[in-house]
Structure 1
Amino acid sequence: MADEHYDTIVIGTSQGGRFLPVELAKAGQKVALVERDQLGGVCVNRGCTPTKTMVASARLAYQAGRGAEYGVRTGPVSVDLAAVRERKRAMVTGARGNYASRLPQDGLELIEGEAHFTGPKSIEIALTDGGTRQIDAPVIVIDTGARPRPLAIPGAGDVPVLDSTSIMELDELPEHLIILGGGYIGLEFGQMFRRFGSEVTIVQRAARLLRSEDQDVSDEVAAILREDGITVSTSSTPVRVEPADGGRLRLGVRTQDGERQLEGSHLLAAIGRVPNTEALTTEAAGIRLDDHGFIEVDEYLETSVPGVYAMGDVTPGPAFTHSSYDDYRILHANLIRHEKASTRDRIVPYTVFIDPQLGRVGATEHEARAQGHAIRVAKLPMSAVIRAIETGQTRGFMKAVIDADTGQILGCAVLGSEGGEITTMIQIAMLGNLTYTAMADAIFTHPLLAEGLNSLFAMFDARGGRCHTLVT
């Protein structure tokens, strides 16, 4: 039997879970918020806030090194990694404190400890300070997030293996950082540490980086990283790791040309994330998980148990802070206003915070064809965008995919300076069901990067079929 009864229990304080319990309490509910670790979840403590803070330091180091190109004498550039880390820590502390300041609310109780289900609507909490509590509620929301996938190859237990959390706590620069994984986490850290001054090698099991992207986007990203001095090794499978002389490590990699050995000072595993579900004992509640341990939900974020919901990275799908926040909006609408908001047909963009940024929204060219659309494709190099030329940021391109019959924008990728911001403009056009002609004919301020959208979408009027070059 539960010792205490609540209207709603929220487990975890990731992006959605840190807002929802406050709003539920404001609506008059008695709410228990359970957190086993740090307030704010991954985004505040180990994800967006710290990583993008460090990306900013790396970009400044890179730009300072280019000073002579702009007629600015800067002298030799060096990076104090301990100072970068302290700046990152200060940002995290501030963000965490900002969240904590919002928590005090009549009707809301923060319980520090680890929760696990004892029944469909009841949980036991192993309190951080010792002891346990038994509580229940007719509505339970799970927002426990995910964590880095551990490296599971022979020898991984014999050498230090960094993950996306521990690498940000280094206070000395790696001499040679080997990164396993060619997704956005591996690429962001790879370019970051290359700009800090490390030698960097990225080892990708798949045939290309960012394999969910179109081939031309993946190829251009790889070319940019190689131009920055990063070694990119694709179709390469790590098979073992072992200590080497001088405190270094040796990684065995199987390639199409046979096995080769890589030697480095540090190893980062950026090979995906796993959901934080094992401690929940979901089987005691009858909550169904998928084959990878993520909690299955319907379009209303309800699990297989009526009245139990899950949100954010603990569910299948894109693991982005902004999609987690949209999950919060859906549950806010449904649990407080009794609406029927859903995840159906929502457009979830994302940005890879390499430099130049890769912004993505909607369908790729490959996806659009697979969906059966008759499509047209336009691609504009950033070297044709006046603002990019003026600022010396000409790497990358903009790429748009439209429906050939209706002119509707199906998707876009912007690999360029402020690519995420430019992609957001295209997303707004998609939300408004604008056709490509609206973007081609709009008056955008000169000279902004966004002005390149005029030229990109004007290509569709220049000729039929595939469009690849700027028409003047």
Structure 2
Amino acid sequence: MTDAKEHGYPADSWQKYTAGGEAKAKEKEEKVKYALEELEVGPLDVHNAELLDAVHPVKWVQPVGIPVYNMVAIGAGAGGLVTCGQTHFAGGRAALIEKHLMGGDCLNIGCVPSKALLAAAKCAHKCRHAAEWGIEVKGVHVNFPKVMERMRKIRAHISENDSVQRFAHQKGVDVYQGTAQFNGPDTVKVTCTSGEERILKFRKACIATGGRARVPPAFKDTKYRTNATIFNLTELPARMAVVGVGPIGCELGQAFARFGTQVKLFSRSGVIMNKEDPEAAAIVKTQMEQDGCKFIAASIKSATQNGPKIRIVYVTKEDGKEVTEEFDQVLLSAGRVANVEGLNLEAAGVKLTDKKLIKVNDYLQTDNPNIYATGDCCLKEQFTHMAGTAAVLVADNANKSKTRKYSDFVIPRVTFTEPEVAAVGMSLAEIKTKYGQDYHEFKREFKIVDRNITDGYTLGFCKMHTKKSSDEILGCTIVGHGAGEMIAMVTTAMVGGVGALKVASIISPYPTMHENVKFTAAGFRGTLPNETPYWTKVMEDARKGKSKGLGSSTTYCVLGGALALLGAGIAYLKFSKCGSGSGSIADKSN
């Protein structure tokens, strides 16, 4: 039997330090403080104890190690986990170093907790508007502590997938709990949480240290919150300021507004989700305003802690007026910075870009060809699915040496507001820069698609762009209910080199919302060169007496009338079901 110490086992459990645990009061106090201040996890209830047992065991016996690893990954978010998992799958030995929480942002402070929170907010909204479906729900009350407990329970349940135990015992990865620092081009020094130091030698390495929320200087002396700490709340704030109107700010701002918080979202320009289609962003903004969110275009002059509240002084963009307001909570979501400090990158020959990201080439190699990077520490597209996908590329390239390029990826993205905004491919601005006016635009409104009508989700549209005189899909934006699910259909088509005509020919089950994509793509048919329709040719032949059985004028007139009606019907069906939502094709070549 393998010695337990070879791969490490947790020698203790966080459960003993919860309120009902058997540890002594002083021990509990110390562990609760460590969890909250160092790991930023709170409160220490049974669910968070389960989470920490999975992603940061109290006492982890460090691996024995081997002379040389095929791969050493620094950071155990999606990028590091997938890199090591793929290395093991290919038959190599991998080491994973994490000083904080296994699972990274997505599991602990990103995708998982935020989507659990958004689901609860969506439920509250649905209950308040149930009368629209003929359902009476009276006295809707948001029990915020229960909402957060549900989130913690879900997060703890999912944490098993990213746990220390799973990667160490099932995937054969040597998991080191501690900090990492390069001390040469092929070695990493690990300072373990136990206090010991290890030197790991590698053939290849991957930096996957992720990123964190940027903190504007005005807030440095306040008790602000970021996505790292917002999920520790146990009481619903009466008033919240959200600084930044990107995906994180809009998602969480809308959620808290639906829970009952007075939410104000601050930005300098007043334009939300500026990377998305402006028309789609405008729809989201209108819905958020209906939910109670208020958008403030202003520059923040100062922020100070005033007891339990944060006082913000800002100058409005519209009239230059100086305003002072106090908030119970402030959420910072105005940009991200890469976690690159303390790695001693110079010793490894790894350089940074002007934006302080790890510099990589199209194969995700750094300036040291044996060291790669993935995720938020190096990529412009800062999504969990990209960190993981790029990690597969890293593992493949490290194993086979330069076989796959990052630029070959077709990258979708979703902002999970309600309605959702999903996009893939080039934006309209990028298309205009590259192709000028040589493109087509097709649009389909949700309000004319049967399933959207029956389910009450008529707000939104699907917009697709193709090359001029080609059905090659350049990009697509979908805003509305289920946009994040539908964008996968377009992404699949683009990855497979399938054009709009093929997408339009898909047999979609009726009634489904995926018909939005099918009907939008069908708009391309309106751009095809005019050809003589079959029935027009038949009538022309009949008029000339070339067709048998069409000799008499009576027969000709009867058949002519029938065919005219048939043609009108076909034209109507094509217009209503297969054209663009507005009934027209936007040809941008004129």
Deviation at 1:207, TM superposition (A): 4.5
The residue type paired with residue 469 of structure 1 is S
More off after superposition, 332-341 vs 50-59: 332-341
- Aligned partner of 1:172 in structure 2 is 235
Q: Is the 8 A contact 1:240 1:253 kept in 2?
A: no
- Aligned partner of 2:451 in structure 1 is 387
Deviation at 1:457, TM superposition (A): 2.7
Deviation at 1:459, TM superposition (A): 3.2
- Aligned partner of 2:314 in structure 1 is 252
Deviation at 1:246, TM superposition (A): 7.5
The residue type paired with residue 158 of structure 2 is A
Distance in 2, Cα, partners of 1:194 & 1:280: 40
1:442 matches 2:555: no
Distance in 1, Cα, partners of 2:500 & 2:422: 18
- Aligned partner of 1:416 in structure 2 is 480
Listed as ranges, the matches of 1:67-466 within 5 Å are 67-100=130-163, 101-103=165-167, 104=169, 108-153=173-218, 156-234=219-297, 236-243=298-305, 247=309, 249-261=311-323, 262-337=325-400, 340-372=403-435, 374-462=438-526
Q: Is the 8 A contact 2:300 2:312 kept in 1?
A: no
Distance in 2, Cα, partners of 1:297 & 1:336: 17
Q: Which has the higher contact order (CA 8 A, sep 6+)?
A: 1
Q: Is the 8 A contact 1:249 1:265 kept in 2?
A: no
The residue type paired with residue 255 of structure 1 is K
Q: Is the 8 A contact 1:360 1:413 kept in 2?
A: yes
Task: State the TM-score, normalized to the length of structure 2.
Answer: 0.75
Change (3 A) 1:253 1:309: same
Change (3 A) 1:459 1:333: same
Change (3 A) 1:27 1:80: same
Change (3 A) 1:379 1:244: farther
**Partner secondary structure for residue 490 of structure 2:** helix
Change (3 A) 1:431 1:67: same
Q: Is the 8 A contact 1:4 1:134 kept in 2?
A: no
Q: Is the 8 A contact 1:25 1:105 kept in 2?
A: no
Q: Is the 8 A contact 1:296 1:316 kept in 2?
A: no
The residue type paired with residue 409 of structure 1 is I
Distance in 2, Cα, partners of 1:470 & 1:221: 24
Deviation at 1:214, TM superposition (A): 2.8
Deviation at 1:222, TM superposition (A): 1.6
Distance in 2, Cα, partners of 1:3 & 1:206: 54
Deviation at 1:36, TM superposition (A): 0.5
Distance in 2, Cα, partners of 1:387 & 1:152: 49
Change (3 A) 1:20 1:157: closer
Change (3 A) 1:47 1:404: same
Distance in 2, Cα, partners of 1:470 & 1:162: 47
Partner of residue 24 from structure 1, selected from 63, 87, 99: 87
Change (3 A) 1:470 1:454: farther
**Partner secondary structure for residue 45 of structure 1:** helix
Deviation at 1:266, TM superposition (A): 1.6
Distance in 1, Cα, partners of 2:103 & 2:479: 30
The residue type paired with residue 452 of structure 1 is N
Deviations, residues 224-252 of structure 1 (Å, cap 9, x unaligned): 21122211123x22221134587352332
Distance in 2, Cα, partners of 1:5 & 1:455: 56
Change (3 A) 1:246 1:419: same
Change (3 A) 1:468 1:383: closer
Change (3 A) 1:434 1:138: closer
The residue type paired with residue 249 of structure 1 is R
- Aligned partner of 2:582 in structure 1 is 469
**Partner secondary structure for residue 162 of structure 1:** coil
Deviations, residues 196-244 of structure 1 (Å, cap 9, x unaligned): 111111112234111112322222222221122211123x222211345
**Partner secondary structure for residue 81 of structure 2:** coil
Deviation at 1:169, TM superposition (A): 1.2
Distance in 2, Cα, partners of 1:5 & 1:456: 54
The residue type paired with residue 345 of structure 2 is T
Distance in 2, Cα, partners of 1:450 & 1:97: 33
Distance in 1, Cα, partners of 2:207 & 2:312: 41
Change (3 A) 1:106 1:71: closer
Deviation at 1:331, TM superposition (A): 2.2
More off after superposition, 14-23 vs 165-174: 14-23
Q: Percent identity?
A: 29
The residue type paired with residue 198 of structure 2 is R
Deviation at 1:158, TM superposition (A): 4.0
The residue type paired with residue 327 of structure 2 is G
Q: Is the 8 A contact 2:309 2:329 kept in 1?
A: no
Deviations, residues 420-466 of structure 1 (Å, cap 9, x unaligned): 111111111222222222233332111111112233233344479x9
Change (3 A) 1:29 1:457: closer
More off after superposition, 4-13 vs 391-400: 4-13
Change (3 A) 1:422 1:25: closer
Change (3 A) 1:345 1:246: closer
Change (3 A) 1:441 1:206: same
Deviations, residues 59-101 of structure 1 (Å, cap 9, x unaligned): 1111111111111111121212221222211222222223224
Q: What runs of 5+ residues in structure 1 fail to find an aligned partner? A: none
Distance in 2, Cα, partners of 1:224 & 1:205: 21
Structure of larger gyration radius: 2
More off after superposition, 240-249 vs 220-229: 240-249
**Partner secondary structure for residue 29 of structure 1:** coil
Q: What runs of 5+ residues in structure 2 fail to find an aligned partner? A: 1-64, 529-578, 586-590
Listed as ranges, the matches of 1:37-52 within 5 Å are 37-52=100-115
More off after superposition, 263-272 vs 348-357: 263-272
